[in-house]
């Protein structure tokens, strides 16, 4: 058998261990951890789940111009919120008309159930039409029925102040 002579191996130099890059490892392990928190100018990394000092919280998750899920967009005023305008206590509709504090659903149901007495019209503030329905028994019930259906399906009925009934 022939043996091949082996080359003499050179001793390899060992490199000193390198610390892991920032952001890796356990919190508090290494320089800048909780043990170094008392040193000025050394704001160590925060615990997991908290943003680092001086960095935006959770980069990559924020979408500029969009609200976070579950939160309204900036400047959005939900319907029914008092806006500070006494002429429109419940805000404005899409066409810029002020909403009333009265509801068209309540007015329509009152007109369908008690329309012979003009209750739906009294609720809206239309006293004249309410009295006419009261004295004619709601036009023998036909006027009250048609008026109740119209109140429920239309979007342009107003109260006595000229504000649009809320839906």
pLDDT tens profile 81-98: 666 677 777 778 888 888
C-alpha angle 90-94-98 in degrees, rounded to nearest 5? 35
Given a cut of 60, whether residue 146 has pLDDT beyond it is yes
CA distances from 103 to 47, 78, 84, 131, 153 (A): 51, 16, 20, 20, 12
End-to-end Cα spacing for the chain: 101
Q: What percent of the chain has pLDDT over 70?
A: 54
Residue 102: which H helix or E strand, with range? strand 99-103
H helix intervals, the chain: 104-114, 119-124, 127-135, 137-140, 142-153
Give the mean pLDDT of 98-118.
90
User: What pLDDT, on a 0 to 100 scale, did the predictor assign at position 18?
Assistant: 78
Band of the pLDDT at 19, cuts 50, 70, 90? confident
Answer whether 143's CB lies under 8 Å from 131's CB. Answer: no
pLDDT at 155: 85
Strands 99-103 and 164-166: parallel
From CA 167, how far away is CA 105, in angstroms rounded? 6
Q: Would the pLDDT of 16 be above 70?
A: yes
Question: Rounded to whole angstroms, how far apart are CA atoms 153 and 135?
Answer: 26
Mean pLDDT across the chain: 74
- For 21-40, letters b (16+ CB in 10 Å) and e give eeeeeeeeebeeeeeeeeee
Do 88 and 163 form a contact (C-beta atoms < 8 A)? yes
Is 0.75 topped by the overall pTM? no
């Amino acid at each position: 058998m022939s043996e091949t002579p082996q080359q003499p191996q050179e001793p390899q130099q060992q490199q000193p261990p390198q610390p892991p890059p920032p952001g890796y490892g356990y919190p508090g392990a290494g320089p800048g951890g909780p043990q170094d928190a008392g040193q000025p100018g050394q704001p160590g990394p925060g615990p997991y789940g908290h943003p680092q000092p001086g960095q935006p919280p959770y980069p990559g998750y924020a979408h500029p111009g969009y609200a976070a899920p579950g939160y309204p967009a900036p400047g959005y005023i939900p319907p029914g919120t008092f806006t500070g305008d006494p002429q429109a206590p419940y805000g404005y509709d899409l066409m810029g008309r002020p909403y009333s504090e009265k509801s068209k659903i309540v007015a329509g149901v009152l007109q369908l159930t008690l329309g012979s007495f003009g209750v739906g019209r009294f609720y809206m503030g239309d006293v004249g039409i309410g009295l006419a329905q009261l004295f004619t028994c709601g036009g023998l019930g036909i006027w009250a029925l048609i008026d109740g259906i119209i109140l429920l399906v239309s979007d342009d009925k107003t109260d006595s102040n000229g504000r649009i009934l809320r839906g």
